[in-house]
Amino acid sequence: MGEAAAKGTVLVVGAGGFLGGYIVAALREAGWRVLRGMRARGAAAADVRHCDLSTMLAPQQWSPALDGVDAVVNVAGILREAGTQRFDPIHHDAPLALARACVAKGVRRFVQVSALGAPEDGGFIASKHRFDQALLRLPLDAVVLRPSIVYATSGSYGGTSLLRALAALPFATLLPGDGRWPIQPVVAEDLARVAAHALDAPAKGLHEVGGPEPMSLREYQLAWREWLRIPGRRAWPTSEAWVSMLVWCWERIGSGPVGETMWRMLRRGNVAAPGASEDLRRHFGFAPRALREVLAAQPSQAQDRWQAQLYFLAPALRFAFVLLWLLSAGAGFATPAAQVDALAAGSPLEGAAPVALARGGAAIDLLLAAWLLSGWRLRTAVGLMAVSVLAYTLVLGVALPATWLDPLGGLAKNLVVLPALAVLWVLSDRR
């Protein structure tokens, strides 16, 4: 408690994100009392403060969140715009209002976790860099950290998840383009440690963060393949134009692991300025480790291979269920009424309007297929699918027991469908 009191209280904005969790952990280990700034309202945890960067655009709106705060770390950000989540408010307007509130409240130290790149790469980088410049002009002890590609051995997010999955393909690593582009990856724990040191060190200004030396994307991918213990060092290049088309489609539908900004950044080469590691050691007493050093210190487990190799299987399973439910809906609508009545004859379903039940079941199947395809609240959709399959199996299995012996497995297939839906429910929670 004495160390925490000596260090003070820090508000981490964006604490609920991929990188935010690592920064919270590093700050707590360094002796800070951490308040987690998160968008969700009404959180029960005592260490959570409401921070919604899409709406908190004036300094006075940030004042309650800064009560009792000695320092701020801002790690909030979005990779693509969607709905009310827009680049300018979240990366520039709201953080600038927060920084001005820090000036008014006497919060002296502000650490901004930005991103390495060029403004012409896209709105993601341009909006972040505009705030970086505005922050450094304020009367604050401000530090801006601009990391290269951030990865973690204990998980992945967005583009790093895609790259890990490509490295884990069974016969060869699939490279975006020919994999020649240089990157300077930094492990999330090391970036978090730099941020923690930045709160204590007297240094200010802008600092680029990356591993000790640049490496090609090909080298990066093969290092992950070796770490995952997948044999072979064969790497297959892909057409750069084909990847660009795929990224363009992802951008238009507002989904997918990589947006156009990330793709431009990768092709430009995402590396820190020469001497960046020495700069970090001089000002903060620490610099990130090389990728192979990090991987050697954290051996992979079977779960890591599961994560990487299920990456492409999860959407394939989802769309297989969409197709299955559409086919089921089509059969329910297309089966002649006489055939439905004949199937129900002599069973408890005979007096229960079997044709209406068949058409109603088809309508439910069609609705669930559209819901699963939309991607909205996937787990709820999958759960309702499981309930419908279970109900369908129980009703027909009891009322028409002969359907268990259907040579095409019309009912028996549900013994596989139900656990497959359970697997999809689990895989729906991923980044």
What pLDDT, on the 0 to 100 scale, is given for residue 361? 94
Asked whether residue 1 carries a pLDDT value surpassing 70, the answer given is no
What pLDDT, on the 0 to 100 scale, is given for residue 84? 86
Q: Where are the CATH 3.40.50.720 domain residues in the chain?
A: 2-311
Q: How far apart are the C-alpha atoms of 181 and 211, rounded to whole Å? A: 15
pLDDT confidence bin for 63, thresholds 50/70/90: very high
What pLDDT, on the 0 to 100 scale, is given for residue 6? 61
For the chain, the average pLDDT equals: 93
What is the pTM (predicted TM-score) of this model? 0.90
Asked whether residue 298 carries a pLDDT value surpassing 50, the answer given is yes
| Fold that domain 2-311 belongs to in CATH | Rossmann fold (3.40.50)
113-141: average pLDDT: 96
Question: Which of 37-51, 57-71, 406-420 is predicted with the least confidence, judged by mean pLDDT?
Answer: 37-51
176-205: average pLDDT: 96
